[in-house]
């Protein structure tokens, strides 16, 4: 059994935040079309993502946060019916449209379904091509293009619903996963490892003192060699010592050198290399179990090629 799942849902395309917004539906088209064109999609087991049950979202979010997003969606529906605007602004970069609620439930649901299949042994690992992304979503707050923290919800789900005792969350997005940190800091069952451009949006992460966080700031213009040093010097020893029973990846590809939302210099080969390191950790401690969820990545060609590199390693093709 060495199958890799590919989870997505059509509703993830319908959420959008206005013309010209970088976190756009075309990101998923670029990934899908490129995986199809390169033949990689044929090697994956494709699944339609279900919606996450609200009770599972509560593993990482307050009931108030969930109710607030649902209430904003209901209010928007009423306003639109009365000829009002099509978006509700959450922060300067983040807004919801009438499809955001469903898309966010399917994005988190993809991570949960992938977790079920991987723990059941039906898949070795899985990639969730979903949006909205999740790693800036805090326990009580949507921000930075994110509404529900897909990876944090799934990590807690693996612990609470499947009885795992230790899981790792690894985040290679160019931005610090402040939402994930907000949710998991101080939870000794979860080790969070990341690198991130610093100082940079969302302007935190460098002074985290919780024992289960290993978030390594890197200056702008850092390239693959700097990142590989962090992985070998910092991440791998901690990951091996922690011996996670499953690894969740916040797979953002905006540290790519062509991505204009970040100023780092990774290339496709770096994403393949990082994925190989994580896969080796998973094979040693976690029966190979990895669930990877799309986060950032905004230059469409670089995004598609980087996802290809990442998924090729996961699927061994
Ligand atoms: Zn990002």
Strand partners, 293: 128, 250
Q: How far is the CA of 12 from the centre of ligand 1 (A)?
A: 18
pLDDT exceeds 80 at position 1: no
pLDDT tens column, 50-80: 999 999 999 999 999 999 999 999 999 999 9
Q: How far is the CA of 52 from the centre of ligand 1 (A)?
A: 23
Per-residue burial over 32-61, b = 16 or more CB atoms within 10 Å of its CB, e = otherwise: bebbeebebbebbeebebbbbeeebbebbb
If 0-12 CB within 10 Å is exposed, 13-18 middle and 19+ buried, where does residue 128 land?
Answer: buried
pLDDT tens column, 212-249: 999 999 999 999 999 999 999 999 999 999 999 999 99
pLDDT tens column, 248-292: 999 999 999 999 999 999 999 999 999 999 999 999 999 999 999
Strand partners, 89: 95
pTM of full prediction above 0.95: yes
Q: How far is the CA of 215 from the centre of ligand 1 (A)?
A: 15
pLDDT tens column, 74-124: 999 999 999 999 999 999 999 999 999 999 999 999 999 999 999 999 999
- Active site residues per annotation: 136
Q: How far is the CA of 208 from the centre of ligand 1 (A)?
A: 19
pLDDT tens column, 3-34: 999 999 999 999 999 999 999 999 999 999 99
Q: How far is the CA of 17 from the centre of ligand 1 (A)?
A: 16
């Amino acid at each position: 059994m060495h199958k890799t799942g590919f989870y997505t849902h059509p509703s993830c395309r319908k959420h959008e935040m206005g013309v010209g917004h970088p976190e756009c539906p075309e990101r998923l088209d670029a990934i899908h079309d490129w995986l199809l064109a390169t033949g990689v999609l044929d090697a994956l087991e494709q699944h339609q993502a279900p919606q996450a049950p609200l009770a599972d979202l509560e593993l990482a979010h307050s009931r108030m946060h969930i109710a607030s997003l649902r209430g904003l969606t209901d209010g928007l529906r009423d306003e639109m019916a009365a000829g009002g605007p099509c978006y509700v602004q959450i922060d300067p970069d983040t807004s919801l449209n009438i499809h955001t609620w469903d898309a966010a439930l399917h994005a988190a649901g993809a991570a949960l379904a992938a977790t079920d299949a991987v723990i059941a042994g039906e898949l070795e690992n899985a990639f969730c091509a979903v949006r909205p992304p999740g790693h800036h979503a805090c326990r009580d707050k949507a921000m930075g293009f994110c509404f529900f923290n897909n990876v944090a919800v799934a990590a807690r789900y693996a612990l609470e619903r499947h009885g795992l005792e230790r899981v790792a969350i690894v985040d290679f997005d160019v931005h610090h996963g402040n939402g994930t940190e907000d949710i998991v800091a101080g939870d000794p069952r979860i080790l969070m490892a990341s690198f991130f451009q610093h100082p940079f949006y969302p302007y935190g992460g460098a002074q985290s003192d919780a024992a289960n966080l290993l978030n390594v700031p890197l200056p702008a213009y850092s390239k693959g060699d700097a990142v590989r040093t962090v992985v070998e010097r910092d991440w791998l020893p901690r990951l091996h010592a922690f011996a996670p029973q499953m690894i969740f990846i916040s797979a953002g590809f905006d540290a790519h050198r062509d991505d204009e939302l970040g100023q780092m210099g990774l290339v496709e080969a770096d994403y393949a290399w990082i994925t190989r390191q994580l896969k080796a950790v998973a094979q040693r401690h976690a029966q190979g179990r990895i669930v990877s969820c799309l986060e950032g990545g905004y230059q469409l060609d670089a995004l598609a090629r980087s996802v290809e590199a990442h998924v090729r390693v996961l699927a061994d093709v």
